[in-house]
Amino acid sequence: MRRPSNGCCAEPADPDGGSSTSLFGLFQYVCCVKPVFEQTPRAQWESFHYEVVRGAGYNAAWHFHPECHLTLVIKSCGHRLVGDHIAPLHAGDLVLVGSNLPHVWHQDPPRRGKAAHAVHAIVVRFLETFAGRDFLDIPEMEPVRRLLRRAARGLQVTGVTREIVAEKMRRLPDLAGLGRLSGLLSILHALARSRELRPLARPGFLPALDRSDEERMQRVCNYINARLAEPIDRGQIAREAHLSDGACSRFFKLRTGRTLPRYINELRVGRACRLLAEEDGKIADVALECGFRNPANFNRRFREIMRLTPCDYHRQIRRSADELNSR
C-alpha cells in the first residue's frame, strides 16, 4: 500500500474539537521522532495530488514534505499528531498542514476480541507553487498567502467551513482540467476567508528536520504504542534507541518538551478517552486496559490532562451522543 502523507483516525468526540483539543495529552506519539522526508506521488498531468485512503492502517512514519495538505477523516480510530499537538480524531475531522510541518495520523490496532476499524479518508496535497511560481504573488492571492503562513502551525477546520470544504473535497475527483484547478482554488478561498480555523502546534514549535535518526526513534515510539496496556520498562526503551537511560531521557525531552512518563501518561489517557466514548464499561476496567493498575492514579492523571474526571468525561460524551441521536 502506498504510504499517504498522513494517517487518519476517528473517535466520537466533539466535532469541532472541543474536548479533544484538551487532549493535548495525546501530544507525543511521534514528536520524539526525527521526521522522515517523504516524496509525494504526483502524476505528470496533475498540479496537485488527490488521494482516497482506505485500509486497515497507514504504514506511515512521523514525516514531513514540502507540500501543504488537507486531510479529511471519514472513518477511522486513533489519533493525529501535527507539530507538537496531538488529539484523538472523529469522523469529519479536517486539518490543513503547512509545508514541511512534521505530522502523522495513527490508526489504533484492534482491541482483543473486537473487529478492526477500517480507515477511510481523503487527502489533498499541493505545493505552494501548484499554479505557477509567481501565482501567489498576485494581489488577489494575498488572503491565501496569509492562510498558508498560518498553516505552518497546522490548522483544524471547524464549523460551517468544515462542512463546505469537506463537500468541495468530495467533488474534486469528478472534475478535470481547469475545473479541477478551480476546485482547489475554491477550497483555499473558503479557508482563507474563514474565522473557523484553529492553530494546532505551539508558536515556538521548531521541527527537527534531520533525516538521520528516524529509524531509531520510530522503534521507540512503536515499542511504547504496542505496550500502553502493560508496565513499560524505561530501560528497554533506552535499549530500543541504542542509548543509555540518561541519554535517552535527554533526547526524548529535547524532541518533545515532555518527560517520558508524561508522554506515556498522555497517550494512555488519550486511549482511555476513546474507550470511555465508545463503551459503557466500568471505569476501573478502562483504567486497566490503558495501563493504569491503580484507579486513584488513573483518576489523578486523567484529571491532570483532561481537566475533568473520567466519570465526568463519560457523562459529557454520553450526553452529547444522546443530544445528537434525538435530533
205 φψ region: left (φ > 0), alpha (ψ -120 to 50), beta (else): beta
- Predicted local distance difference test score (pLDDT) of residue 30: 42
Strand order in the sheet with 49-55: 49-55, 119-126, 68-75, 94-97, 155-157, 197-199
- Written as nine digits, the cell of 306 is 483532561
Q: Measured between alpha carbons, how far is residue 249 from residues 38, 114, 190, 206, 223 in Å?
A: 27, 35, 44, 19, 15
- CA dist 170 and 191 (Å) reads 16
- Predicted local distance difference test score (pLDDT) of residue 159: 95
Q: Which residues contact 100 (CB under 8 A, 6 or more apart)?
A: 64, 65, 66, 207, 209
- Predicted local distance difference test score (pLDDT) of residue 253: 74
pTM of this prediction exceeds 0.85: no
Which residue from 92, 124, 104 is spatially nearest to 16, judged by alpha carbons? 92
- Predicted local distance difference test score (pLDDT) of residue 13: 37
pLDDT profile of the chain (327 residues), mean per 10 = 37 39 40 53 72 78 85 88 81 93 82 68 92 89 94 95 96 90 96 96 67 67 86 91 88 72 85 80 90 93 88 81 59
Domains of the chain: 19-199 (2.60.120.280), 214-325 (1.10.10.60)
- Predicted local distance difference test score (pLDDT) of residue 38: 59
In the chain, the amino acid numbered 222 is N
- CA dist 117 and 84 (Å) reads 26
β-bridge partners, 106: 79
